[in-house]
């Protein structure tokens, strides 16, 4: 049994996330975690809410609530929505936890001891109108790289270039809209990433199996322009982890907090401590400390491409630079963007379908299937209501749902709600077994490689093979001439339903659970030998006919939803 640590990029606390956020990190991470558990592996799957920085402060101010109260409420909301999408986190933590505060301050202290933090006097945007410094997302303006007119002070959403507020053209305060900004001197701490360039580059070069998207972004940041730059890790904010060297005060840094992108990835480790504190597990160190057993762990991260630079450079610089025996990530699965109806999803601009709205429209399996089967891996993908309707109706209703309905209802009408006995298998069954053996092997290969779309294609082909067999074998016709032959066909088909319940569980867990209950299964054991798997339900085993697994989306519904979700958020 292998051990796998899986983390999803942690979502910002500032509101409910859209479907693009979901498919870019949490959902494929859940797919992989469920698959690995299904294969009998030991899995620790962690995520959390990212609660520090300007997004939290701005969202709380907009909601008219203290920032700590707002974050607590939104953590509960996001946790509930995650449950609604059946995201199987072993723990869903909070970056504002005491554990993360202590661990962040610890890393800062040891990095300083290693000579990797320097104090910098710099000028920073100050707004006399607002009476405060304006770091990061308190400033917007035009991107000097691509001309996007709503670039933030830390990064451009359009071209993903990392920015400093002083880089922006025509900057303004996002608090008041004031443009009378001025530069004032302040002191901050910088992580000396440049000192670690060679070590980071060698580490990245050693990851020959990483997706091209991941390594190309990392190497671009390493080598573009003047190469890897030192990065500020403190901010003039009220909300965040107070700047300390371990447990000691940091002279000159009073009233400052650590930059959210310094403390947020550290929450992955802190989250495992919270997992233990919550009584859900034991010994977090065996997952994270290579001197405590973590050398046997395979660590995989899932994220959108905008998060890649921080997870390939800044967070590894923190881990490596500490000189302590922490587990480094083994594989980073990154995703492109999912666009919406010819434009971009955007939390800040309220464009697209949001996770809470999606669950109001249809159950989670409908969304899970579409998003995963259209995951933006090799390029950006596009959500359209026409495509969503077609995929749900064809893949889920016509292929899987139709097969289950036809088999169980025909069996009930001719043999009762039991697996029929009699008859034998022949050439048709041997051909099906050969096809399924080949497809199952490819399905497992694609899932092991985290090729999400290709895995979905193989799973659908496995469903379709059962449909084609049923249509060709035609037990309804065979029953008239040879009831025992019909019994054999139905018996195999009922065992296919059991197989589908197992293989489909990572993609559509609720549907898998319905099939498990209908087939009266105690567990969903991953198939080893398909001959055994397709005879696991013996003659005489009872079952019940499930309700229709999926309903079709009508044209009227599609048109209504297109109008309702035209890119505006109430």
The DSSP string of 398-447 is IIIIHHHHHHHHHHHHHH-SB--------HHHHHHHHHHHHHHHHHHHHH
The 10 Å Cβ neighbour count of residue 553 is 21
> Could you tell me if residue 222 is inside a domain?
yes
Does one domain contain both 328 and 469?
no
Is residue 356 helix, strand or coil?
Answer: helix
Tokens, residue 305: 């491409």
End-to-end CA distance of the chain: 48
The domain that holds 410 is classified in CATH as: 1.10.730.10
> Could you tell me if residue 177 is inside a domain?
no
Q: Model confidence over 463-488: pLDDT tens digits?
A: 999 999 999 999 999 999 999 999 99
CA distance 234 to 191: 10
> Among 335, 363, 390, where does a domain finish?
335
Q: In which element (H, E) is residue 133 found?
A: strand 132-133
CA distance 277 to 266: 17
Kindly tell me the number of DSSP H helices and DSSP E strands found in the chain.
22, 19
Q: Model confidence over 171-204: pLDDT tens digits?
A: 999 888 999 999 899 999 999 999 999 999 999 9
Ligand-binding site membership of 71 (annotated)? no
> Among 335, 360, 390, where does a domain finish?
335
Q: What is the mean pLDDT of residues 102-110?
A: 98
Q: What is the mean pLDDT of the chain?
A: 94
Does one domain contain both 323 and 361?
no
pLDDT in the model for residue 569:
45
Tokens, residue 438: 């080949």
> Could you tell me if residue 302 is inside a domain?
yes
Please state the φ and ψ torsions of residue 209, each to the nearest 5 degrees: -95, 0
What residues have CB less than 8 Å from 255, skipping those under 6 apart?
236
Q: In which element (H, E) is residue 458 found?
A: helix 452-473
The 10 Å Cβ neighbour count of residue 145 is 15
Beta-sheet pairing, 331-335 with 117-127: unpaired
CA 477 to chain centre: 47
By the 8 A CB rule, do 110 and 168 touch? no
- Of the candidates 545, 521, 550, which has an alpha carbon nearest to the alpha carbon of residue 364? 550
pLDDT at 400 over 80: yes
pLDDT in the model for residue 411:
98
CA 378 to chain centre: 16
Q: What is the mean pLDDT of residues 207-220?
A: 94
By the 8 A CB rule, do 117 and 189 touch? yes
* Structure-token match 């443009």, residue found: 179
> Could you tell me if residue 430 is inside a domain?
yes
Domain that holds residue 255: 1-116+192-335
By the 8 A CB rule, do 16 and 73 touch? no
Please state the φ and ψ torsions of residue 273, each to the nearest 5 degrees: -70, -40
> Could you tell me if residue 182 is inside a domain?
no
- Of the candidates 82, 60, 62, which has an alpha carbon nearest to the alpha carbon of residue 240? 60
Does one domain contain both 385 and 303?
no
Q: Model confidence over 222-278: pLDDT tens digits?
A: 988 778 899 999 998 889 999 999 999 999 999 999 999 999 999 999 999 999 999
At 157, is the pLDDT very low, low, confident or very high (cuts 50, 70, 90)?
A: confident
pLDDT in the model for residue 137:
75
- Of the candidates 270, 197, 187, 196, which has an alpha carbon nearest to the alpha carbon of residue 233? 187
Q: What is the dihedral of CA 513, 514, 520, 522, to 10 degrees?
A: 10
Burial class, 512, CB count within 10 angstroms (exposed 0-12 / middle 13-18 / buried 19+): buried
> Could you tell me if residue 123 is inside a domain?
no
pLDDT in the model for residue 568:
53
Among residues of the chain, what percentage have pLDDT more than 90? 85
Q: What is the DSSP letter of 529?
A: S
By the 8 A CB rule, do 106 and 45 touch? no
Please state the φ and ψ torsions of residue 185, each to the nearest 5 degrees: -80, 140
- Of the candidates 197, 199, 149, which has an alpha carbon nearest to the alpha carbon of residue 170? 149
Q: What is the mean pLDDT of residues 550-556?
A: 98
What residues have CB less than 8 Å from 80, skipping those under 6 apart?
none
Q: Model confidence over 289-325: pLDDT tens digits?
A: 999 999 999 999 999 999 999 999 999 999 999 999 9
pLDDT at 55 over 90: no
pLDDT at 112 over 90: yes
Does one domain contain both 48 and 107?
yes
Does one domain contain both 468 and 547?
yes
Ligand-binding site membership of 159 (annotated)? yes
Q: Could you give the residue ranges of the DSSP H alpha helices within 114-259?
A: 197-205, 212-223
> Could you tell me if residue 446 is inside a domain?
yes
The DSSP string of 313-337 is IIHHHHHHHHTS-BPPPSEEEEE-P
pLDDT in the model for residue 1:
87
Does one domain contain both 328 and 457?
no
pLDDT in the model for residue 567:
59
Q: What is the mean pLDDT of residues 49-71?
A: 92
> Could you tell me if residue 149 is inside a domain?
no
Does one domain contain both 260 and 302?
yes
CA distance 360 to 556: 17
Does one domain contain both 305 and 432?
no
Q: What is the mean pLDDT of residues 546-567?
A: 92
CA distance 567 to 560: 13
Is residue 207 helix, strand or coil?
Answer: coil
CA distance 529 to 540: 22
Does one domain contain both 424 and 479?
yes
The domain that holds 102 is classified in CATH as: 3.40.50.620
pLDDT in the model for residue 570:
43
Give the count of domains, the chain.
Answer: 2
Does one domain contain both 302 and 387?
no
Does one domain contain both 296 and 376?
no
Does one domain contain both 383 and 460?
yes
Q: What is the DSSP letter of 192?
A: -
> Among 300, 335, 370, where does a domain finish?
335
The 10 Å Cβ neighbour count of residue 287 is 24
Ligand-binding site membership of 347 (annotated)? yes
- How many CA within 13 A on the CB side of residue 348? 14
CA distance 120 to 341: 45
- How many CA within 13 A on the CB side of residue 405? 12
């Amino acid at each position: 049994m292998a051990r796998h640590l899986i983390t999803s990029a942690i979502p910002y606390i500032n509101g409910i996330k859209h479907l693009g956020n979901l498919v870019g990190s949490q959902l494929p991470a859940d797919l992989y975690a469920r698959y690995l558990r299904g294969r009998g592996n030991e899995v620790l799957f962690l995520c959390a809410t990212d609660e520090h920085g300007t997004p939290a402060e701005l969202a709380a101010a907009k909601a008219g609530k203290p920032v700590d109260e707002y974050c607590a409420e939104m953590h509960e909301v996001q946790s509930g929505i995650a449950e609604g999408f059946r995201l199987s986190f072993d723990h869903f933590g909070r970056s504002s936890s005491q554990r993360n505060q202590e661990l962040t301050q610890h890393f800062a202290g040891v990095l300083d001891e290693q000579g990797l933090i320097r104090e910098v006097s710099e000028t920073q945007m100050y707004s006399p109108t607002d009476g405060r410094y304006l770091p990061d997302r308190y400033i917007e303006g035009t991107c000097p790289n691509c001309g996007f007119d709503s670039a933030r002070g830390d990064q451009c959403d359009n071209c993903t270039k990392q920015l400093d507020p002083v880089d922006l053209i025509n900057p303004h305060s996002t608090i008041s809209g004031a443009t009378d900004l001025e530069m004032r001197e302040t002191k901050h701490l910088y992580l000396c990433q440049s000192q670690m360039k060679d070590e980071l580059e060698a580490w990245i070069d050693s990851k020959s199996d990483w997706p091209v998207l991941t390594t190309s972004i990392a190497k671009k940041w390493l080598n573009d322009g003047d190469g890897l730059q030192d990065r500020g890790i403190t901010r003039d904010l009220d909300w965040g982890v107070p700047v300390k060297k371990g447990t000691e005060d940091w002279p000159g840094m009073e009233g400052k907090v650590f930059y959210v992108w310094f403390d947020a990835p550290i929450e992955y480790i802190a989250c495992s401590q919270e997992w233990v504190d919550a009584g859900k597990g034991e010994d977090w160190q065996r997952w994270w400390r290579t001197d405590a057993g973590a050398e046997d762990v395979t660590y995989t991260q899932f994220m959108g491409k905008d998060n890649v630079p921080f997870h390939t450079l800044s967070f590894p610089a923190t881990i490596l630079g500490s000189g302590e025996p922490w587990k480094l990530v083994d594989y980073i699965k990154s995703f492109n963007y999912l666009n919406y109806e010819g434009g971009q999803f955007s939390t800040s601009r309220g464009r697209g379908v949001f996770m809470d709205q999606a669950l109001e429209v249809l159950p989670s399996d409908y969304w899970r299937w579409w998003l995963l089967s259209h995951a933006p891996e090799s390029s950006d993908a596009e959500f359209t209501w026409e495509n969503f309707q077609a995929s749900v109706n064809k893949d889920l209703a016509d292929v899987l749902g139709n097969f289950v309905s036809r088999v169980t209802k025909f069996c009930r009408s001719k043999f009762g709600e039991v697996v029929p006995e009699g008859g034998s298998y022949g050439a048709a069954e041997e051909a099906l077994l050969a096809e399924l053996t080949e497809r199952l092997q490819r399905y497992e290969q694609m899932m092991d490689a985290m090729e999400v779309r290709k895995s979905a294609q193989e799973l659908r082909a496995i469903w379709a093979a059962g449909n084609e067999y049923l249509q060709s074998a035609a037990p309804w016709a065979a029953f008239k001439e040879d009831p025992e032959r019909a019994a054999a066909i139905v018996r195999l088909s009922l065992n296919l339903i059991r197989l589908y319940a197992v293989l489909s569980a990572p993609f559509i867990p609720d549907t898998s659970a319905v099939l498990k209950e209908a087939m009266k299964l105690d567990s969903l054991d991953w198939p080893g030998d398909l001959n055994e798997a397709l005879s696991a339900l013996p003659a005489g085993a009872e079952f019940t006919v499930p309700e229709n697994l999926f309903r079709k989306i009508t044209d009227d519904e599609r048109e209504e939803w297109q109008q309702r979700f035209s890119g505006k958020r109430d």
